[in-house]
């Protein structure tokens, strides 16, 4: 049987980092800054 180990602290860190990046992205949108295709964007 195969199992997959989950490292919750790494997953939580990634979630916090993604939330921070999403907030920065939204701040750029609110400031009407130009967003380039190569810039980081949330999946949604």
pLDDT at 8 over 70: no
CA angle at 43 for the pair 42 and 44, rounded to the nearest 5°: 90
d(CA 44, CA 42): 5
pLDDT at 5: 63
Positive or negative: CA dihedral 29, 34, 39, 44: positive
For the segment 12-34, what is each residue's pLDDT rounded down to a tens digit? Answer: 777 778 899 999 999 999 999 99
**Residue in the block written with tokens 């701040």:** 27
Domain boundaries, the chain: 8-32
pLDDT at 1 over 70: no
CB atoms under 10 Å from CB of 28, counted, come to 13
């Amino acid at each position: 049987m195969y199992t997959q180990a989950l490292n919750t602290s790494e997953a939580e860190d990634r979630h916090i980092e993604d939330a921070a990046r999403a907030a920065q992205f939204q701040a750029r949108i609110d400031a009407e800054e130009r967003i380039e295709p190569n810039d980081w964007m949330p999946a949604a």
